[in-house]
Amino acid sequence: MPHIALYFFCSNAADTRNHASHIIRSLLSQLITKIRSLIRHLMPTYEVQGSRILSENSIELLWSMFLAAISTSDTPRVLCLMDGLDECNAISTKTFLNEAIRPRPSGRLNLLIVSREHPTWIRDSLGAWSRIRLDPDAKDDVQDSWSAYIFTRTEELACSVVKRCSQSSLGKSDPH
């Protein structure tokens, strides 16, 4: 398993999808589901912290657990897609972005963050990261189809990456 794709779609309309702690817990859950052996790396922290990791104030702790999990030899390269950060609680998202944009020496994590730049602190938090700007005035036209498009493309990308990595590990190559 050379690559793993994880994703989270934020929504201000759902209490379970509008906080940075929800994002990280979901990413951890997806990761553990895909690589069960990682649970042994997370249990010591859980045994010390207990239910604290379930609180909304546990962003730094959850992120450190996530980084620890992806830093193990059991974990391949990880691509995380997070959509709609502008729909999450502002304080939690600021904390999360401060953690997520720090340089990581392992190079095993790639983040794809999809968000409007308003409020402006999102743009400011992402600083010099590469960005693709979408027309903010097309909100009504794009809203219904955007999540469906991202979900479909994420699945296609994950399948493509896994296929290419599997072929390259077998010595085959696909020109497409």
Regions in the chain scoring below 50 on pLDDT: none
Transcribe 124-175 into DSSP letters.
HHHTTS------GGGHHHHHHHHHHHHHHHHHHHHHHHHHHHHHHHTT----
8 touches 26 (CB < 8 A): yes
Q: Mind listing the pLDDT tens digit for each residue in 82-129?
A: 999 999 999 999 999 999 888 776 778 988 888 887 788 888 888 777
DSSP SS3 for 50:
helix
Q: For position 145, what pLDDT does the model report?
A: 62
Q: Mind listing the pLDDT tens digit for each residue in 94-106?
A: 999 999 888 776 7
